Amino acid sequence: MLNVYAQDTWNAVKVFDFDSEDAGNVYEMYIDSVGATDGNAVFCFQVSTQKLIKTDSKGNVIEVTSNPYADHTIYNGDTLYITYPGVVVNTTSGDTVLRSYGRYICRDITASSSGIYVFLFNTSRGPSIVKSVLTNEKIFETYYFNGFCASKDGVYIFESKKYDDVKCYLNYVDVKTGNTVPTIHTISEPKGIAEFRGSLYVYSLTDRSVYRLESPSETSVYSITELKTNSDPVHYGLDGRKIDPSVPGIHILRFPDGRVNKIVVR
């Protein structure tokens, strides 16, 4: 799990410029972890000209093919893709994984070992939702969805607070606890977000570049079970008094070696 930083701004570090005539047509970016046999990420760009363009971690194009699935993900080795009007199909078995219903239409999908998640667009008044397919539970709702990706323990979701909002928000939803941590990032027009080996990568349509998001502070969000696996620091509250490690809230940790850290216990 990546550490998530509450109410703070991610640092955006440019990885490479996407030098392609279709750079302005990208509507989704993901990382092919299966193809990363040399330890480097393989970046996959889906473009509106119905092409799939793959590059190495320096932006060099290594393959251009037709784009077989407009919106898809991989779960347990199977490709799941969305067909019109919002039906999710498993290409291996041919089974229908999810069928849009009522006013909600499935517009996007992501998956990891934590589960399968879909973005259901609300065609009438009211917020759209992000839902877990495996548990049938709503995990997030938003009016201005800008993309998402699943990680080992949760889901990262881009959104705006209003249509013309200049601030860009990146929410982390811990699917085990149901907690949501909102943060801010500075990338303009994000088109695709992916996690690869502990880092988040985002494509900016504005300057046609891939960025890596870096955490800006030391205020990490850990579960209580994660804390128990670390060394044994002394926990203090904001008033300077010792507190039990399981008490929810902001903790100041002082380690035996003198290190001090600030965390949020959920």
The 10s digit of each residue's pLDDT in 35-54 is 555 667 899 999 999 999 99
pLDDT category, 264, cuts 50, 70, 90? Answer: confident
Per the omega criterion (within 30 degrees of 0), is the bond before 85 cis? yes
pLDDT category, 257, cuts 50, 70, 90? Answer: low
240 against 241, higher pLDDT = 241
Token digits of residue 211: 């960025």
Specify the domain boundaries for CATH 2.120.10.30 within the chain.
Answer: 11-216
Q: What is the pLDDT of residue 259?
A: 61
**Dist CA 100 CA 84 (whole Å):** 10
In this model, does residue 89 exceed pLDDT 50? yes
247 against 20, higher pLDDT = 20
- The lowest-confidence range among 3-17, 23-37, 121-135, 190-204 is 3-17
Question: Does domain 11-216 match CATH 3.30.1330.10?
Answer: no
- The lowest-confidence range among 46-55, 88-97, 159-168 is 159-168
Give the DSSP H/E element, type plus range, for residue 261. strand 260-265
160 against 53, higher pLDDT = 53
Q: What is the CA radius of gyration of the chain?
A: 20
What is the pLDDT of the chain when averaged over all its residues? 85
- The lowest-confidence range among 67-76, 95-104, 155-164 is 155-164
Strands 260-265 and 219-222, how do they pair?
A: parallel
In this model, does residue 146 exceed pLDDT 80? yes
Q: What is the pTM of this model?
A: 0.77
**Dist CA 171 CA 158 (whole Å):** 6
Find all residues with CB under 8 Å of 164, minimum gap 6, and list them: none
Q: What is the pLDDT of residue 218?
A: 42
In this model, does residue 221 exceed pLDDT 60? no
As a whole number, mean pLDDT of residues 111-130 equals 95
Q: What is the pLDDT of residue 39?
A: 65
Coil, helix or strand at residue 31: strand
In this model, does residue 230 exceed pLDDT 60? no
Q: What is the pLDDT of residue 108?
A: 96
Q: What is the pLDDT of residue 216?
A: 55
